[in-house]
Structure 1
Amino acid sequence: MRKLVLAASMALLTACAAPQQEQINFMPKAVLSNSDLVKDAAFTLTSKDVRSAQYVALVDSGRSNIEPIHSKQNVRISIENALLEQFKSQGFRSTVSSENTIAIEVQEALVSVKHTVMENQMDGKVVLEITAETPQGKLVKAYTGTAKRTGALSASNEDIEVVLNDVINLVFQEISNDRELQQYMQERF
């Protein structure tokens, strides 16, 4: 029994001493409106993350070693909170039970990084689908943001973080400027 306790203690201490997986900050910024589109129109907001994996970056160093990097923040919740802030700035109000709903689906949020000692190449892509639904019907729109960036030397986590946040902010800008979505919500909510 004593040997078993000793072995379990050693395994636990080894696990605690193992290096922690690297993570990056995922901080989408809402595009705030200066004027209200509507006055206090209510909707219910839901979201889901349908990505096949939860990492936000894949780093290929060329040595048959591809390392995933995760976000410190929950991607789905960060996107939902920022979009909620964005819609609130346009005069909409979120409630728990409204017949008007907005569903956010996170389909992709990834930066692929290939780097060598001399250079790096980063390809970022974010895909969000927004469904605005009312008793009169629904509008489904997909928003895609992409970015390519090359640099000298290998990419740091800060570089990856900048690309990922720039791409999600491009998508938020696209949603903010989408007249069709605004008009649909304005007329039906």
Structure 2
Amino acid sequence: MRKFVLAASIALLTACSAPQQEQLNLTLQPQLSMNTITQGKAFSLTSKDVRAAQYVALVDSGRSNIEPLHAKQNVRIALENALLEQFESQGFKNTVNSENNVELEIQEALVSVKHSVLENQMDANLVLEVTAETPKGKLVKTYTGTASRNGMMSASNEEIQSVLNDVMNLVLEEIANDNELQNYMKERF
């Protein structure tokens, strides 16, 4: 029995000390408005992540080895917080029990990386759906961001992370500057 406990303890300690898989850091930059478009119009913000898998990058080194990379932060919460900051900078107010709802749905967030020792190709896709709903109606908008980057040598995690953050920040900027969404929320909330 002692040998079993000793072997189990060693196996557990070995597993704990094994190197952790690298993760990508999300550095989202909400587009804050300098001019408020409304004052204190209330809404409730919710979000959901409907992606099939939770990784944010797939790295194909060409040797029948495809490695998924995950984000350090929860993608849904990071995007929800950034969107909330944007709406609050425009003068909207997030409350718990509002009859006005904004829902963020993450449909795709992925960087596909194909690389070898000599070159790399990165293609990023982000698809977000924003639904603004009031008792009087609903507006559903889909925002899509894509980016491609080629480079010499194999792609580093920092380069993959940069492409992912660039696409996310571009889509956040598109949402912040969407007059149709702003007007709908301003007039109906």
Question: TM-score, length-normalised on structure 2?
Answer: 0.98
Residue in 2 that maps onto 1:10 = 10
Unaligned runs of 5+ in 2: none
Matched, 1:146 2:154: no
Residue in 2 that maps onto 1:126 = 126
Counterparts of 1:40-79 in structure 2, within 5 Å, are: 40-79=40-79
CA distance in 2, matches of 1:46, 1:27: 21
Structure 2 SS opposite 1:53:
coil
Give the drift of 1:18: 1.6
Residue in 2 that maps onto 1:135 = 135
Unaligned runs of 5+ in 1: none
Give the drift of 1:176: 1.2
Q: Return the letter of the residue paired with 1:16.
A: C
Structure 2 SS opposite 1:35:
coil
Residue in 2 that maps onto 1:182 = 182
Give the drift of 1:29: 1.2
Give the drift of 1:10: 1.7
Q: Return the letter of the residue paired with 1:182.
A: Q
Question: TM-score, length-normalised on structure 1?
Answer: 0.98
Q: Return the letter of the residue paired with 2:25.
A: N
Residue in 1 that maps onto 2:88 = 88
Give the drift of 1:17: 2.4
Give the drift of 1:123: 0.2
CA distance in 2, matches of 1:111, 1:161: 9
Runs of 4+ in 1 over 2 A off after TM superposition: none
Give the drift of 1:114: 0.3
CA distance in 2, matches of 1:8, 1:69: 30
Give the drift of 1:14: 1.7
CA distance in 2, matches of 1:146, 1:17: 38
CA distance in 2, matches of 1:148, 1:47: 27
Count of paired positions: 189
Q: Return the letter of the residue paired with 2:182.
A: Q
Structure 2 SS opposite 1:111:
strand
